[in-house]
Amino acid sequence: MSSFRVASARSLAHTLSVRVGPNDPNPFGLAEAADPKDCGVRSSDAVQRINLILKDVVPSLAFRHIPFNTIALEQYASVLDAALASHCSVGVGVDPLLLGLDALSGERHIVRVLKSLSDGVEFRDDSAAGQPGRVGWYQLERAVAEVGDGYWVIGDAVALDLPNCLPYRADIQ
């Protein structure tokens, strides 16, 4: 990895206030979390900080976190389809063990959705090497519910006002 990429990753991790566990590898000297559930980045912090970064780097882009429990009538597929049709990048917060990924149970992990399928989704775990995975809707919903999460969407700000969700309001993000 080039020194520029390492410096950029270090800077981004610090800007987002990423926390690691006391026994986790910590090459960037990040803050340690006493409780494993506090590792990573809090959703509310991610929304605020990612939008500040995007505003400086690419002002037309914005970030939105959409917890599944805020999507009307469990219309998870329609929200995903609309986001992907608008050329947004969509991640989903899951319990990785429920998707067959190598990680700790109960730990939130974000995987990137590559495409929506009639019976589920195709995803990639960008933090690990390997082929894309496929998962059915029931299994995905269960993996999301286990960690109380949802979609993490980046795209044009106008594309983030998605169907079956609360209206997107950039001023409160």
Please tell me whether residues 52 and 118 are part of one structural domain. yes
Q: What average pLDDT does the structure give for the chain? A: 84
CA distance linking residue 139 with residue 42, whole number of Å:
24
Which residue bears the tokens 């959705």?
113
Domain hosting 2: range is 1-40
pTM of the shown model? 0.81
- In this prediction, residue 171 has a pLDDT band, given cuts at 50, 70 and 90, of low
Please tell me whether residues 55 and 32 are part of one structural domain. no
State the virtual CA torsion across 160, 119, 132, 107 in degrees, nearest 10. Answer: 70
Please tell me whether residues 30 and 47 are part of one structural domain. no
- In this prediction, residue 151 has a pLDDT band, given cuts at 50, 70 and 90, of very high
Please tell me whether residues 24 and 56 are part of one structural domain. no
Please tell me whether residues 25 and 61 are part of one structural domain. no
Please tell me whether residues 75 and 123 are part of one structural domain. yes
Which residue bears the tokens 């519910």?
145
- In this prediction, residue 169 has a pLDDT band, given cuts at 50, 70 and 90, of confident
pLDDT at site 51? 83
Nearest to 111 by CA among 99, 62, 120: 99
Contact 63, 46 (CB under 8 A): yes
Q: Which tokens in the block code for residue 138?
A: 């029931």
Please tell me whether residues 88 and 119 are part of one structural domain. yes
In this prediction, residues 134-163 reach a mean pLDDT of 94
pLDDT at site 43? 72
Nearest to 28 by CA among 41, 1, 9, 3: 9
Please tell me whether residues 33 and 115 are part of one structural domain. no
Contact 93, 76 (CB under 8 A): no
Please tell me whether residues 52 and 133 are part of one structural domain. yes
CA distance linking residue 100 with residue 109, whole number of Å:
12
Q: Specify the number of domains making up the chain.
A: 2
Please tell me whether residues 145 and 155 are part of one structural domain. yes
Nearest to 41 by CA among 162, 161, 156, 149: 149
59-86 pLDDT, tens digit per residue, is 889 999 999 999 999 999 999 999 999 9
Please tell me whether residues 46 and 36 are part of one structural domain. no
